[in-house]
Amino acid sequence: MPSKIRTVLFDLDGTLADTAPDLAAALNQLLEEEGRAPLPFEAIRPEVSHGSPGLLKVGFGMDSEHPDYARLRARLLELYGANLCRETRLFPGMVELLAALARAGRNWGIVTNKPKHLTEPLVRELRLSHPPACIVSGDSTANRKPHPEPMQLACTQAGSRPEQCLYVGDAQRDIEAGRRAGMKTLVALFGYISEHDTPERWGADALIRHPRDILDWLNAEERTHA
């Protein structure tokens, strides 16, 4: 019989928190510094889950092979780091979800590709009433998502086996990492998913449109395996 889910793990950007406004502001500030016109928020938001590579791609049309990539990436992260939590908020319903998980005796954590020097201060600034049992950042392990190593570290820190964990994310690499680690997975459709993404093909256990849907899924899963 499958183990009961006791730990819910979240991607950070686009799943736990709506970080797009502050990341978009940093990108537009960089564009202006470089003599370029700022981009509309709607053009930037779908790329936020892809981190600085995605932002530099949409802003400058460049990849990591471009000679200016390292300089612009460093400056982008500097600008963002100076304004981590001006407009960033937990997604609506997430506060209630975390409280419900605590009442049910479940813990929760974060597994993100965001670097530790940005992740940890951001989590502090969010002033969470129910703190995470683990925070695994993009440089916490030798490999990043979609590799399962960050997921395995999260399991160790949260005190759960992979089959006792649910991972919620808004990018294909999130679902791949969770599945490779042996976890159940959900796609957060309220996150940063572009019109070109095909989340229904990522192999997740379900697609959700609101954080409260996670509770519904957990309850249904318990009933199925009771």
169, β-bridge pairs: 187
- Kindly report the average pLDDT of the chain as a whole number: 96
What is the pTM (predicted TM-score) of this model?
A: 0.95
Give the number of residues written for the chain. 226
Residue 59's CB: how many other CB atoms inside 10 A? 22
- 10 Å CB burial of residue 204 (0-12, 13-18, 19+) is buried
Task: Compute the C-alpha angle 103/104/110, nearest 5°.
Answer: 90
Distance CA 226, CA 219 (A): 10
Percent of the chain with pLDDT over 90: 95
Residue 2 has pLDDT above 80, yes or no: no
Three-state SS for 185? strand
Q: Domains of the chain: which residue ranges?
A: 7-18+88-224, 20-81
Could you tell me the CA-to-CA distances from 43 to 46, 63, 133, 212 in Å, in that order? 7, 17, 34, 27
Distance CA 224, CA 211 (A): 21
Nearest to 181 by CA among 214, 199, 156: 156
Quickly state the pLDDT bin for 3 (edges 50, 70, 90): low
Look at the domain 7-18+88-224 and name its fold. Answer: Rossmann fold (3.40.50)
Position 1 scores a pLDDT of 38
| Averaged pLDDT for residues 81-95 | 97
Note the pLDDT tens digit of each residue in 188-213: 999 999 999 999 999 999 999 999 99
Contact 152, 161 (CB under 8 A): no
Task: Compute the C-alpha angle 221/152/77, nearest 5°.
Answer: 105
Contact 117, 86 (CB under 8 A): no
Note the pLDDT tens digit of each residue in 107-161: 999 999 999 999 999 999 999 999 999 999 999 999 999 999 999 999 999 999 9
Residue 172 has pLDDT above 80, yes or no: yes
Quickly state the pLDDT bin for 164 (edges 50, 70, 90): very high
Residue 11 designated active-site:
yes
- 10 Å CB burial of residue 142 (0-12, 13-18, 19+) is exposed
Distance CA 37, CA 54 (A): 18
Residue 205 designated active-site:
no
**What are 19's two structure tokens?**
């970080």
Note the pLDDT tens digit of each residue in 8-36: 999 999 999 999 999 999 999 999 999 99
Note the pLDDT tens digit of each residue in 34-49: 999 999 999 999 999 8
